[in-house]
Amino acid sequence: MEPVSAAVSAVLPAGGSGERLGGATPKQFCGLQGRPLVSYAVRAMERVSWISDIIVVVSPENIETMKSIIEKYGHKRVTVVKGGITRHRSIFNGLKVFAENQSSNRLLQKPEVVIIHDAVRPFVEEDILLKVVMAAKEHGAAGAIRPLVSTVIASGEDGCLDHSLERARYRASEMPQAFLFDIIYQAYQQCTDHDLDYGTECLHLALKYCKTNAKLVEGTADLWKVTYKRDLYAAESIIKDSLSQQICIITDVKEAVVQAGFLLHESLKNQVKDKEYATEEIQKLVDMLEKSNVPLLYPVVLILVHLNISENISFSIGLEELTKIKKFAREVKKKNILVYGLLIQYKDHFPLQETVNSAAALTMALIKDRNPELIGQLLVA
């Protein structure tokens, strides 16, 4: 997907103070599965190959934080720019980097089309980015919209209802938006201090100063802006949901337990790692994962499945062994890998399908929850 050979870059204002969220950390730096929200938005841009440069605009006190996030998560094509005291001033600062071509270390090419997107909308897809870019090429400006959830009303000076708007006639203006660079830059150059200090809407500036009526593009619900604490909860759940679709389990079953392994396969529709606690092998796997950089972006769940095929009814687990696993898990957690143990009992007198179902349910629960407090525990299927 390459949008008709236009040079496209993006500006992400990330200078907000997050006062609506409550709490000291601005929301763009709040951790979701241990990783700051802004990193998700940057990743969403960066994985789109036809976006050349990504400008992240942050308030002066967060420049170092942002630079360390870029380094830690290995983000590419990102330039950090100092923001202004309002959203519009920050975006303007971001655009200036292209126009004035004086970014400290490298030259940034002025794009034909510039995307503006919020750092606190982590789930933007290539599809909608492409749509707004194409529409901006044609119309000069474009932005994602959504239906209104609540009726919008105007209040009078007495704090009473003045009038309400007919919900169907209006839309919520969301992000991403895209503009021909020259149009939005000209709009920012011409606009007043009042616009810069009190305005919130880039589409409005393009209309007011460049007579450009932005094309409105229907977006999906997941474009919503993380604003309140509940939105962080929602974002975390969405990430967990999507992560739990990504399972890679490794099998190396012994002859005797092939049946259990097979059923577990069926239940998990996937493969299962059932090595015993062979510390060496686990360590190797951990090293591989670490090298892959995957655990940097998301916590990886590693489940050590132990198959107990002993017929001895009074089989028991030594606490010493458990303590060893816990210690190992604690070490590995520093690398963002979550290790859990799962014991599956395979005995002739046991109802196998039930055990296998229980193992599958426990595995799914561990993968879904990624609970860091439960690492190193041995669960029994």
Binding positions for its own copies, 285-324, rule CB under 8 A: 308, 313-320, 322-323
Our finding on whether 268 is near its own copies (CB under 8 A) is no
Instruction: Specify the residue, 78 or 202, whose C-beta has the smaller distance to its own copies.
Output: 202
Residues 356-375 interacting with its own copies (rule: CB under 8 A): 361-362, 364-365, 369, 371, 373-374
Using the contact rule CB under 8 A, the part of the chain among 36-44, 51-59, 218-226, 265-273 near its own copies is: 218-226
* Binding residue for its own copies, selected from 149, 157, 211, 349, defined by CB under 8 A: 149
Residues 187-216 interacting with its own copies (rule: CB under 8 A): 198, 200-201, 203-204, 207, 213-216
The answer to whether 59 and 149 have CB atoms below 8 angstroms apart is no
CB of 41 to its own copies, least distance (A): 16
Spatial separation of the C-alpha atoms in residues 285 and 275, rounded to whole Å: 12
| For helices 319-333 and 279-292, angle between their N-to-C axes, nearest 10 degrees | 10
* Binding residue for its own copies, selected from 63, 96, 228, 289, defined by CB under 8 A: 228
Instruction: Specify the residue, 78 or 264, whose C-beta has the smaller distance to its own copies.
Output: 264
CB of 260 to its own copies, least distance (A): 16
| Phi, psi values for residue 116, rounded to 5° | -115, 125
- Least Cα distance to 99 among 212, 181, 195 occurs for 181
Residues 27-86 interacting with its own copies (rule: CB under 8 A): none
* Amino acid identity for residue 98 in this structure: F
| Beta-bridge mates of residue 35 | 32
Residues 159-178 interacting with its own copies (rule: CB under 8 A): 159-165, 167-174
Instruction: Specify the residue, 33 or 377, whose C-beta has the smaller distance to its own copies.
Output: 377
Instruction: Specify the residue, 151 or 192, whose C-beta has the smaller distance to its own copies.
Output: 151
Instruction: Specify the residue, 61 or 166, whose C-beta has the smaller distance to its own copies.
Output: 166
Instruction: Specify the residue, 67 or 204, whose C-beta has the smaller distance to its own copies.
Output: 204
* Binding residue for its own copies, selected from 12, 235, 249, 303, defined by CB under 8 A: 235
3-class secondary-structure state, position 239? helix
Instruction: Specify the residue, 55 or 175, whose C-beta has the smaller distance to its own copies.
Output: 175
Instruction: Specify the residue, 7 or 343, whose C-beta has the smaller distance to its own copies.
Output: 343
Spatial separation of the C-alpha atoms in residues 138 and 207, rounded to whole Å: 15
Compute CA distances 373 → 125, 159, 329, 376, whole Å: 32, 49, 11, 9
Our finding on whether 345 is near its own copies (CB under 8 A) is yes
Compute CA distances 126 → 24, 41, 199, 201, 246, whole Å: 32, 12, 28, 22, 20
* Binding residue for its own copies, selected from 1, 107, 154, 248, defined by CB under 8 A: 154
Compute CA distances 165 → 28, 148, 158, 162, 170, whole Å: 32, 11, 19, 10, 8
* Binding residue for its own copies, selected from 72, 74, 197, 233, defined by CB under 8 A: 233
CB of 188 to its own copies, least distance (A): 16
> x/- string (CB under 8 A) for its own copies, residues 127-146?
------------x-x-x-xx
Spatial separation of the C-alpha atoms in residues 195 and 206, rounded to whole Å: 12
3-class secondary-structure state, position 83? coil
Spatial separation of the C-alpha atoms in residues 341 and 19, rounded to whole Å: 41
* Binding residue for its own copies, selected from 17, 52, 109, 155, defined by CB under 8 A: 155
* Binding residue for its own copies, selected from 125, 126, 182, 231, defined by CB under 8 A: 231
Our finding on whether 245 is near its own copies (CB under 8 A) is no
State both tokens at 89: 């001033």
Helices (H), 256-315: 258-268, 279-292, 294-297
* Binding residue for its own copies, selected from 126, 182, 236, 290, defined by CB under 8 A: 236
Spatial separation of the C-alpha atoms in residues 157 and 194, rounded to whole Å: 22
Give me the DSSP letters along 121-143: -TT--HHHHHHHHHHHHHHSEEE
CB of 359 to its own copies, least distance (A): 11
